[in-house]
Chain A
């Protein structure tokens, strides 16, 4: 029983850093942009957040710096895609290269160091010792319904989805597709970098090169799984978090399976999730997803 509770508790903790980028990507894709650069943005956030927290002794400044850097970096992507009409997948991969390289440069002096981490708080209750989380975990789970509301119950959300379905018609209706896409990209960049910063400042307390280990790509898979719905993204993030924690627990118990096979668990699970729930989503996907909008001139 205690094993089960600690599994649930861990799943919630590990769901948070993947939920941030998943929500951001969901918004971005709802506006018609696929961003493969999440992995780079997360790494950028993880390394810069760690470096700033180490330097200022304040983890919150680290999170703030990560958010700002993620926003700016993703504006490069948005500029390429919206303004220069670049191919979205290529622009995303360029951003991935950028994030991998920059994070290695930023993080190099901090390998093996410890930085001040985010404080943990618990809700009152019987299992409060087990369910102690840093505020970003609560933020992540609160953001999901907030984004659902933003996308499906506000005028802005309607416009954003209209741009994702058909930018030309949205334009005809008086919406600026470029502006909407810049805003969506700014949101997504911020969230992805905060997710990375949560990994280094909320969970590990250390920095190592490539520490996000493909979470940026798993987040994209989770967006497909969640059918571009922020509320379903919670489920996806919990499944992934559960797989990560299960793997860690099995490793700690020293069962007779190679750790390499246990490490495969989250990736294999992601592919399986895509296979089972990712089929036939084309009619749910935003119609202009991945297409270049050439404007109406």
Chain B
């Protein structure tokens, strides 16, 4: 048993390494085709984001939202749902969290922050409840509604940021006033690394435990494995579908509010470079496996940071990183299905 487990882990590592080599090779050719120097680009990204302690802390800081959005996709995934709406849930979490940050000032230090984070979770959960209800009732498939809601969320945020919540002193750049000190997530060691990273780790551990070792996790996975069988067993399938969506939305919303409370300190429109979609990618690569989510979140966080490095050192638009993500997904999807397991 143990040896087969080890063999599997070794095989996974080999596959991961092969994927990385293939993807780096193809993306290198791509950079070369654009007239850039791929070797120097890779050297720069590695030097600035791994070897440099501040850079590495920046990568870990990006892991915080990615761990949470990936879990936001993983929980519905285990219930057989495809949540492609983490991007919108992220924005709505940031929105409701900002409301709490700006309106509940004067509360004691820890309490205020806790309420801000909680409001973020509620915001994401409510936003995810819309496709959740529609799916639980069997009315509309959740894939398409979560995608469409991604386009609505920035408009809602835009309304508040350009309208009632706009900070009067910053006329040319629409954003809200700064979070008061009692609503901010502390940054650690003078780097971008913040408490949200440990929140992400905490929820990852909680997920790993609950999904595999609790009755809740078993029921959720039963619903995801075979909804009809779960119904015959007497499980409340509709309620589980809604709960899975809302739990997922809550974590994606927490990612959003944590990102604002730690990094941006004000709500504005460009708080996410696609963390919701990247979270989907992380979960897909990890297949909702907790250890896999940890590894893939690091990998994608590194790639996202590299995107910013390439933007500066190679003058590429940030969206070029999407090409890299696509190449990773293409490579993983092109592997024989026998390795991909269920689904």
**Residues of A at under 8 Å CB distance from B?**
36, 76, 79-80, 84-87, 89-91, 93-95, 97-98, 100-105, 108, 209, 213-214, 217-218, 220-221, 224, 258, 260-261, 263-264, 267-268, 270-271, 274-275, 278-279, 292
CA distance A261 to B152 in the complex (A): 9
Q: Is A105 a contact partner of B330 (Cβ separation < 8 A)?
A: no
- CB < 8 Å: which of A85, A86, A91, A97 contacts B322? A97
Contact across chains for B337 and A84 when beta carbons are under 8 A apart: yes
Q: Which residues of B contact A271 (CB under 8 A)?
A: 140, 145, 148-149
The answer to whether B337 and A267 touch across the interface, beta carbons within 8 angstroms, is no
**Pick the contact of B152 from A100, A104, A268 — CB < 8 Å?**
A268
Further contacts, 9 of them, CB under 8 A, given A98-B326, A98-B330, A105-B319: A36-B143, A79-B334, A85-B337, A87-B340, A93-B280, A97-B323, A104-B320, A213-B151, A268-B152
CB within 8 Å for A260 and B162 given contacts A98-B322, A278-B139: yes
- Chain B residues whose CB sits within 8 angstroms of the CB of A101 once the complex forms: 319-326
0 or 1 for each of B77-89: is its CB under 8 Å from A? (1 = yes): 0000010100000
Most chain A beta-carbon neighbours within 10 Å: one of B281, B327, B334: B334
The answer to whether B158 and A260 have CB atoms under 8 Å apart is yes
Report 21 cross-chain contacts, Cβ distance below 8 Å, ordered by A residue.
Answer: A80-B330, A84-B333, A84-B337, A89-B143, A91-B329, A91-B333, A94-B329, A97-B323, A98-B326, A100-B322, A105-B317, A209-B317, A221-B144, A224-B141, A258-B162, A260-B162, A264-B152, A264-B156, A267-B152, A268-B152, A271-B140
> B51 contacts the other chain (Cβ, under 8 Å)?
no
- Across the interface, do B156 and A260 meet the contact criterion of CB distance under 8 Å? yes
Please, what's the 1-or-0 string for B280-291, where 1 marks a CB less than 8 Å from any CB in chain A? Answer: 110010000000
For B144, list chain A residues within 8 Å (CB). Answer: 217, 220-221, 224, 274
Chain B residues, CB < 8 A from A97: 277, 281, 322-323, 325-326, 329
Q: Check if A278 sits within 8 Å of B140, measured CB to CB.
A: yes
Q: Are A105 and B316 in contact (CB under 8 A)?
A: yes
Q: Within 8 Å CB of A217, what residues of B?
A: 144, 147-148, 151
Q: Distance in Å from the Cβ of B231 to the closest Cβ of chain A?
A: 16
Residue of B nearest to A103 (CB): B319
Looking at chain B, what size class is its interface with the partner chain?
35 or more
The minimal Cβ–Cβ distance linking B291 to chain A, given in whole angstroms, is 20
Chain A contact residues, majority secondary structure? helix
**With A76-B330, A84-B333, A90-B333: A105-B320 Cβ-Cβ less than 8 Å:** yes
Do the beta carbons of B319 and A267 come within 8 Å of each other?
A: no
Task: Write the nearest CB–CB distance from A267 to chain B, whole angstroms.
Answer: 5
Closest to A216 in B: B147
Q: Work out how many contacts link A and B, with CB atoms closer than 8 A.
A: 128
What's the Cα separation between A271 and B139 when bound, in Å? 11
Of A85, A267, A292, the residue contacting B148 (CB under 8 A) is A267
Residues A214 and B329 in contact, CB atoms below 8 Å apart? no
- Does B333 contact A86, Cβ atoms closer than 8 Å? yes
B236 within 8 A of A: no
Separation of A9 and B222 alpha carbons in the complex (Å): 52
Interface positions, chain B 284-343, Cβ under 8 Å from A, are 284, 316-327, 329-330, 333-337, 340, 343
Chain B residue contacts of A209, Cβ below 8 A: 317, 319
Instruction: Assess A80 versus B334: contact at CB under 8 Å? Given A90-B284, A101-B326, A217-B144.
Output: yes
Say yes or no: is B155 at the interface (Cβ < 8 Å to chain A): yes
Q: Is the CB of B333 within 8 A of A102?
A: no
- B84 touches which one: A80, A93, A105 (CB < 8 A)? A93
B320: chain A residues within 8 A (beta carbon): 101, 104-105
Mark out the residues of chain B between 132 and 188 whose CB falls within 8 Å of any chain A CB in the assembled complex: 134, 138-141, 143-145, 147-152, 155-156, 158-159, 162-163
A220 to B134, CA, bound (A): 17
B1 within 8 A of A: no
Q: Collect the chain A residues with CB atoms within 8 Å of residue B277's CB.
A: 93, 97
Q: Which residues of A contact B143 (CB under 8 A)?
A: 36, 89
B304 nearest CB across to chain A (Å)? 13
For B329, list chain A residues within 8 Å (CB): 90-91, 93-94, 97
Please measure, in the bound complex, the distance between the C-alpha atom of A260 and the C-alpha atom of B316, giving whole angstroms.
Answer: 30
User: Which residues does chain B contribute within 8 Å of A218, judged by CB atoms?
Assistant: 148
4 cross-chain pairs, A with B, having the tightest CB-CB distances, nearest first: A101-B322, A104-B319, A101-B323, A98-B326
The answer to whether A94 and B156 have CB atoms under 8 Å apart is no
Minimum CB–CB distance for B146 against chain A, Å? 10
B39 at the interface (CB under 8 A from A): no
How many angstroms between the C-alpha atoms of A264 and B150 in the bound complex?
A: 11
B233 within 8 A of A: no
Cα(A98)–Cα(B326), bound, Å: 5
Q: Is the CB of A84 within 8 A of B156?
A: no
* Chain A residue contacts of B325, Cβ below 8 A: 97, 101
Q: Considering residues A90, A267, A270, which has the most beta carbons from chain B within 10 angstroms of its beta carbon?
A: A90
Contact present for B337 and A221 (CB under 8 Å): no
Distance between B67 CB and nearest chain A CB, rounded to angstroms: 20
Counting chain B CB atoms within 10 Å of each CB, the highest count among A95, A100, A224, A260 belongs to A260
Task: Decide yes or no whether B34 CB sits under 8 A from chain A.
Answer: yes
Distance of A91 Cα from B295 Cα, bound (Å): 22
Contacts of A220 in B (CB 8 A): 144
| A-side contacts of B151, CB under 8 Å | 213-214, 217, 267
Q: How far is the CA of A258 from the CA of B156 in the complex (A)?
A: 10
Contacts of B327 in A (CB 8 A): 98
